[in-house]
Chains A and B, each alone.
Chain A
Amino acid sequence: MTDVLHFSAGLATLQLCGSGFTIPSKLFLPGIECLTFNQDAVRFAPSLLDPAVVPSLRTLGIVGGGDSDTLESLSRSRLEQLLPQIELLVLPCDFLESRPTYLTPFFDNAVFDRYPSTSDDLNPKLVEVQHLRILAVVKECAFSEYRGLPGLITAIKKQKPVRLRSICLDSSLQDTSTFTKRAATLIGRLVKACSEKGIEMVYEQQGRRSIELFISEELRRKRRETRGR
């Protein structure tokens, strides 16, 4: 007698925002390939980030947060066992400061999220990463949201040797023809600096609301292509 197990595509992408969820103890989600938590939902990481729960996980996103509570939740999970199979890891740039030991070997392949408007000062470690994603800078936003970009452009120009391999921007920034002059100039300078240093620009439709996907299919496809080279 032989048992044959058939698997087909079920729920493959799950994004959780907020808290208050109750996770059953014997959850098994064999179809989940992409899992994203926002800073409130990351407290459920210990229940979900486990090879016994999400054995097919390939993409993991921790969006926002990056504080000690986030780290504590992740350290209580079995993320360490999942890391070797993860193809796309999206992390908050705060992790560059805290550098959790089990995560640092995977930093080179991770995409680090950066909200430029959070500070005028550029975290010097930001250009030490290989893949960077700039969030919250979109066509419609106020120019003040761009304020972290000049520092980034300068750092890219000065960088020697170049560590950055790709920068991900919202797709609304791809065509700057309708932008204000100073916004268009700034984006143009960033694109030029990246081009000169051989840094790839990746454009994706970034989620702006909590029920939009924080990790786009474009970003996942790009990562698959990069890994396939």
Chain B
Amino acid sequence: MPLLSLPTEILRQIVQFSVPSTLAVSSYLERQATLCALCYVCRRLLSIAQPLLFEILFTPWPETLVKILDALDSKGWTNLIRQVGLQGQFMDPCETKLLARLTKNSPSLHTLALDNFFNSEVDLTILQSFSSSSLLTQLRVDD
């Protein structure tokens, strides 16, 4: 059976399992290179591999994160980011706002490695947002 004749969801799982998914720089580069290569194969693999490029992010520079979030916004893609390694300088209040924007764009974020490199003031109230956005829903069920 040709690979591309498989249902999209199965194909997506094959692609997902064929690339590393750990928050490590070396495997991240391998992951992104493989996904980029798949994007060039055909439109169908492009539609599967391209969103996966945003699942794991290493962003040593805040400007990079801005570009990534802008790209996601332009495509109307939300809920894609799963793991983030962020080495922030956080000298500028705009960068702290960036964290809030990340929170808003990433309700499915499950792993966050945060290096406050210059020991600037970073309010971790944002963590509450990561949890409360998807974690707790209270339903009132009437008898």
Quick one: given A3-B140, A11-B109, are A21 and B124 in contact (CB under 8 Å)? yes
Report whether B131 and A13 are in contact in the complex, using a CB–CB cutoff of 8 Å.
no
Quick one: given A4-B141, A29-B128, A212-B23, are A18 and B135 in contact (CB under 8 Å)? no
How distant is A26 from chain B, measured CB to nearest CB, in Å? 8
Report whether B141 and A22 are in contact in the complex, using a CB–CB cutoff of 8 Å.
no
Stretch from B11-19, B32-40, B68-76, B115-123 forming part of the interface with A: B115-123
Question: Which of B123, B131, B134 interacts with A28 by CB under 8 Å?
Answer: B131
Cross-chain pairs A/B with CB under 8 angstroms, 12 sampled: A1-B141, A3-B141, A8-B134, A8-B137, A10-B109, A10-B132, A10-B133, A17-B114, A30-B135, A210-B113, A212-B25, A213-B113
Cβ contacts under 8 Å, A217 to chain B:
22
Cβ contacts under 8 Å, B124 to chain A:
21-24, 27
Report whether A31 and B135 are in contact in the complex, using a CB–CB cutoff of 8 Å.
yes
By a beta-carbon cutoff of 8 Å, the part of chain A in contact with chain B is: 1-24, 27-32, 40-41, 205, 207-213, 216-217
Report whether B130 and A212 are in contact in the complex, using a CB–CB cutoff of 8 Å.
no
C-alpha gap A24/B129 in the complex (Å): 12
Report whether A15 and B114 are in contact in the complex, using a CB–CB cutoff of 8 Å.
yes
By a beta-carbon cutoff of 8 Å, the part of chain B in contact with chain A is: 22-27, 58, 60, 85-87, 90, 109-125, 127-128, 130-143
How distant is A33 from chain B, measured CB to nearest CB, in Å? 9
Report whether B122 and A213 are in contact in the complex, using a CB–CB cutoff of 8 Å.
no
Quick one: given A20-B116, A24-B123, are A5 and B134 in contact (CB under 8 Å)? no
C-alpha gap A228/B26 in the complex (Å): 31
The list of the 10 closest CB pairs from A to B, nearest first, reads A211-B85, A18-B116, A10-B135, A20-B119, A210-B115, A15-B113, A11-B130, A13-B111, A17-B115, A12-B110
Report whether A210 and B87 are in contact in the complex, using a CB–CB cutoff of 8 Å.
yes
Report whether B23 and A213 are in contact in the complex, using a CB–CB cutoff of 8 Å.
yes
Report whether A205 and B27 are in contact in the complex, using a CB–CB cutoff of 8 Å.
yes
Report whether B117 and A18 are in contact in the complex, using a CB–CB cutoff of 8 Å.
yes
Cβ contacts under 8 Å, A211 to chain B:
23, 25, 58, 60, 85-87, 113-115
Question: Which of B23, B119, B123, B130 interacts with A19 by CB under 8 Å?
Answer: B119
Cβ contacts under 8 Å, B131 to chain A:
10-11, 28-32
